């Protein structure tokens, strides 16, 4: 009956959360995969080593919960004063969850059937929580006896000995763990007298705080090697946020938070409507679109960077962006909704310069000659796999940070070509390194040609947008937004135009697009059914309580006696 009640409660809880869970589950299928890899379980000795204080490993489970918790949890199985069912349920649950971390099928269940790009042990907090609950379950029946304490200590010593071959089990970690075990065991083994209580409390508290502080400090130092380097947030970033807010012109144009990055989600932190966000659910269509246009990223494609390029700014309606510590206005920006000739969208190729031209519909790049661009053109370098400094003549150097699969360097401007024959210095490395010579005059002409037929107003709504044109439109309306699943335009599913949201029109003067997360309606239906089931169960319980309260006390006593 208890298990059935838990199952029903869990099912109802999942059902009530379905409006969130269903879209999240479907969005994992639409996210950019980054690097697809099979699960590889960490070595058993490494896993056991992470039970020790003062350890760190990016691809191992961080299950350390301090030696007092581990000792009490290990002692639970040997305590005769605790009901057997309670002892074995908590002990078995801890062991079962721990083993599930190391088996491929259960690993996939924990992570919604997709191995994470980073550490594969995101669920470790569950095991840590179960260890704390198991320790508390024993303490609820009083302190463990010396026999159970000795058996639990032997288990902890055995686990520590098994972890010794791991390189994570350093000498300080072993010493800190053994010292904590001795202090905790000594505190729990003290005679049950008031004068020993203060000493026992000091020993246990000191172990908890000391081990936690040492582990936090050690992990912070080790974690720095796996994180991207960002400047600290302070007055300068607050000034930039205020400048971006002052330049904001949405929805007439976008404002981009630009480079260098402050964190992984600068538009959220500083303001603006750029694409430089990090998420494990970054849509694949967005990453692939920006990559085709020369964009860069970290975190294996799920942390997009701002792409500072005039052609891309024109395509996405960026009218202001942060650059060189300030906010500048871009010269050529299109409205958020433009019109292109009828027909299929462009088919991208390997060159981001040509892909930009295909999406724009005009040639704007001049070809370099003998490795140098024509004088007066803006020189752009695309070397996604290179890391190092690139320079054009006497212009300041530009640093590239590329190298797959973790990082990809964005297309970057090296400055205006100063004189004939000046070639840029490019960092050595593998992968392509191509130059694009942007002609500002050609770009202005291309933007001017698209403006007359573009939308005169774009009104964002709570779930989409409405664009109005200067007259009837026949062609393809292109919205400067990625064509992620969930959009409907003019009541039907849009047709992507080079990865952008698009819909064919025939004489229309407006276009309306609405976004609904895939899975939202089924999730709402499941939630409604769960609410109805919950109300039904509450009604049944209320009737039972009413019948019980209306039964005379003598009859209730007789019924209980008969049941016994």
Query: What is the per-residue pLDDT across 104-162, written as a single tens digit (0 to 9) for each?
Result: 999 999 987 877 767 899 999 999 999 999 999 999 999 999 999 999 999 999 999 99
Percent of the chain with pLDDT over 70: 96
In angstroms, the CA 236 to CA 51 distance is 42
Whether 560 has a pLDDT exceeding 60, the answer reads no
Band (pLDDT 50/70/90 cuts) for residue 202 is: very high
Q: Which residues, including other chains, have CB under 8 Å from residue 534's CB and lie 6 or more apart?
A: 12, 16
Residue 552: per-residue pLDDT? 65
Summarize pLDDT for 260-294 with one digit per residue, the tens: 888 889 999 999 999 999 988 899 999 999 999 99
Torsion of CA 205, 209, 214, 217, to 10 degrees: 180
Q: Which residue has the higher pLDDT, 232 or 450?
A: 450
pTM here?
A: 0.79
Mean pLDDT of 201-216: 96
Helices within 274-329 (DSSP H only): 284-292, 310-315
| Cβ-contact 322, 258 below 8 angstroms | yes
Mean pLDDT of 204-230: 88
Whether 445 has a pLDDT exceeding 50, the answer reads yes
Torsion of CA 69, 72, 76, 80, to 10 degrees: -160
Whether 379 has a pLDDT exceeding 90, the answer reads yes
Mean pLDDT of 192-211: 92
Summarize pLDDT for 96-106 with one digit per residue, the tens: 999 999 999 99
Q: What mean pLDDT value characterizes the chain?
A: 92
Whether 558 has a pLDDT exceeding 60, the answer reads no
Pull the structure tokens for residue 224. Answer: 């720095």
Residue 557: per-residue pLDDT? 59
Whether 564 has a pLDDT exceeding 50, the answer reads no
Residue 105: per-residue pLDDT? 94
Residue 559: per-residue pLDDT? 52
Residue 525: per-residue pLDDT? 97
Residue 561: per-residue pLDDT? 53
Q: Which long-range contacts (CB under 8 A, 24 or more apart) does 229-233 make?
A: 230/261, 230/262, 230/263, 230/264, 231/260, 231/262, 233/262, 233/263, 233/269
In angstroms, the CA 362 to CA 354 distance is 10
Residue 325: per-residue pLDDT? 77
Among 65-74, 105-114, 167-176, 524-533, where is mean pLDDT lowest? Answer: 105-114
Domain ranges in the chain are 32-226, 235-445, 532-563
| Cβ-contact 518, 501 below 8 angstroms | no
Mean pLDDT of 550-561: 59
Whether 387 has a pLDDT exceeding 50, the answer reads yes
Residue 554: per-residue pLDDT? 59
Q: Is 234 helix (H, G, I), strand (E, B) or coil?
A: coil
Q: Which residue has the higher pLDDT, 386 or 233?
A: 386
Residue 563: per-residue pLDDT? 47
In angstroms, the CA 520 to CA 518 distance is 6
Mean pLDDT of 402-429: 93
Q: Which residue has the higher pLDDT, 564 or 321?
A: 321
Mean pLDDT of 345-356: 96
Mean pLDDT of 469-485: 95
Nearest-5° Cα angle at 498, 492 to 502: 25
**3-state secondary structure string, 43-61?**
CHHHHHHCCCCCCCCCCCC
């Amino acid at each position: 009956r208890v298990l059935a009640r838990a199952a029903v409660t869990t099912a109802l809880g999942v059902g009530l959360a379905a409006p969130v869970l269903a879209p999240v589950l479907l969005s994992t299928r639409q996210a950019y995969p980054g690097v697809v890899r099979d699960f590889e379980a960490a070595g058993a000795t490494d896993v056991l080593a992470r039970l020790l204080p003062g350890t760190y490993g990016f691809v191992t489970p961080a299950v350390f919960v301090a030696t007092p918790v581990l000792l009490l949890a290990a002692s639970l199985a040997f305590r005769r004063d605790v009901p057997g069912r309670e002892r074995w349920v908590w002990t078995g649950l801890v062991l079962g969850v721990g083993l599930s971390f190391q088996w491929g099928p259960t690993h996939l269940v924990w992570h919604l059937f997709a191995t994470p790009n980073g550490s594969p042990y995101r669920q470790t907090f569950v095991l840590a929580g179960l260890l704390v609950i198991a320790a508390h379950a024993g303490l609820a029946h009083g302190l463990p006896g010396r026999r159970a304490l000795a058996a639990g200590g032997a288990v902890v010593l055995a686990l520590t000995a098994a972890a010794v071959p791991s390189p994570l089990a350093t000498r300080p970690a072993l010493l800190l763990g053994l010292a904590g075990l001795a202090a905790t065991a000594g505190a729990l083994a003290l005679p049950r007298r008031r004068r020993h209580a203060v000493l026992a409390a000091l020993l246990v508290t000191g172990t908890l705080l000391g081990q936690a502080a040492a582990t936090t400090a050690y992990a912070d130092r080790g974690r720095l090697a796996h994180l991207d380097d960002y400047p600290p947030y302070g007055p300068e970033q607050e000034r930039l946020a205020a400048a971006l807010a002052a330049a904001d012109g949405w929805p007439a144009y976008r404002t981009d938070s630009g480079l260098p990055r402050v964190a992984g989600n600068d538009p959220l932190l500083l303001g603006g409507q750029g694409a430089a966000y990090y998420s494990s659910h970054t849509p694949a269509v967005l990453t692939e679109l920006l990559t085709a246009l020369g964009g860069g990223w970290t975190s294996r494609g799920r942390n997009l960077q701002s792409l500072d390029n005039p052609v891309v700014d024109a395509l996405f309606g960026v009218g202001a962006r942060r650059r060189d510590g300030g906010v500048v206005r871009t010269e050529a920006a299109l409205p958020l909704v433009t019109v292109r000739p009828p027909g299929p969208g462009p088919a991208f190729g390997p060159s981001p310069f040509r892909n930009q031209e295909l999406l724009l519909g005009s040639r704007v790049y001049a070809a370099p000659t003998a490795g140098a661009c024509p004088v007066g053109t803006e020189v752009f370098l695309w070397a996604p796999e290179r890391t190092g400094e690139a320079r054009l003549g006497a212009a300041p150097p530009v640093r590239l940070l590329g190298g797959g699969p973790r990082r990809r360097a964005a297309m970057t401007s090296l400055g205006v070509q100063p004189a004939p024959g000046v070639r840029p210095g490019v960092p050595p490395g593998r992968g392509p390194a191509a130059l694009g010579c942007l002609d500002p005059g050609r770009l202005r002409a291309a933007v001017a040609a698209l403006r007359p037929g573009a939308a005169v107003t774009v009104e964002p709504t709570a779930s989409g947008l409405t664009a109005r044109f200067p007259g009837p439109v026949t062609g393809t309306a292109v919205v400067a937004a990625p064509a992620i699943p969930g959009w409907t335009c003019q009541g039907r599913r849009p047709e992507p135009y080079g990865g952008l949201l698009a819909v064919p029109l025939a004489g229309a003067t407006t276009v309306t697009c609405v976004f609904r997360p895939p899975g939202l309606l089924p999730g709402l239906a499941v939630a409604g059914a769960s609410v109805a089931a919950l109300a039904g169960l509450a009604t049944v319980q209320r009737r039972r309580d009413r019948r019980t309260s209306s039964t005379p006390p003598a009859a209730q006593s007789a019924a209980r006696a008969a049941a016994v």
